[in-house]
A and B are shown apart, each in its own frame.
Chain A
Amino acid sequence: QVQLQESGPGLVKPSGTLSLTCAVSGGSINSNDWWTWVRQPPGKGLEWIGEIHRSGSTNYNASLNSRVTISADKSENQFSLELTSVTAADTAVYYCATKDSSGFYWGQGTLVTVSS
């Protein structure tokens, strides 16, 4: 069963770039079709950020489209999120996730705070 683990800075300055990595274990990043990022602002609901296919194609939330990039490193069996020009509104717990025919798999999440 695949396991996911997010990592990256917990504090980012306003107007800076948020960068997170999701390490995949227990399986290959080539094994599932889509690899996804979701976020959850404190006290609020879940928001889908975007996804990357094992072929490299991507889909992004239209509300973030101009600021977000998701990439994958197959040699490291991981995928990444970059969000530019961040503001306090981007403060959230960020989750990586994937699915296969048996269900959905999520990382434990990492809190990123945007503050000077």
Chain B
Amino acid sequence: DIQMTQSPSTLSASVGDRVTITCRASQNLNSWLAWYQQKPGRAPKLLIYKASILDSGVPSRFSGSGSGTDFTLTISSLQPDDSATYYCQQYTYLWTFGQGTKVEF
């Protein structure tokens, strides 16, 4: 099974900060990695797929990078609406999710 290690588990930041979340895979994913944002009581919302492709309608302050085993989600200028939990997901073989990163102010 492919394991996903996401860090940090919690992140405290201020409006306007540049925020980075990392995800490391136990095997080579090529670029088969997605990032989601989830708010309480809501389904996960796709932000990025194939490591760096922004889903339709997602603000450009979100970006993804990486390939192989190391990936990054960056929020260039944190906004109040970005308070949420973020998950990475590999889909190279079946699906596995990271443990989540809670972004709070």
Contacts and interface: CB of A to CB of B under 8 A. Distances in A.
Contacts of B89: 46
Interface string B43-82: 1101001000101100000000000000000000000000
SS of B interface (majority):
loop
| Interface size grouping (class) on chain B | 10 to 19
SS of A interface (majority):
strand
B95 interface: yes
B97 A103 contact: no
A89 interface: no
Contact of A47 (B55, B91, B97): B97
B63 to A, nearest CB: 16
A99 B97 contact: no
Contacts of B100: 45-46
Contacts of B1: 62
B43 A45 contact: no
Nearest to B97: A46
A95 B55 CA distance: 20
A19 B76 CA distance: 43
Contacts of A51: 94-95
Interface string A26-51: 00000000001010000001111001
A104 B34 CA distance: 9
Contact of B43 (A36, A59, A99, A106): A106
A48 B43 contact: no
B31 to A, nearest CB: 13
Interface of B: 1, 34, 43-44, 46, 49, 53, 55-56, 87, 89, 91, 94-100
Please name the 8 residue pairs, one residue from A and one from B, whose CB atoms are nearest each other, closest first. Answer: A48-B95, A46-B97, A106-B43, A45-B100, A104-B46, A103-B49, A109-B43, A108-B43
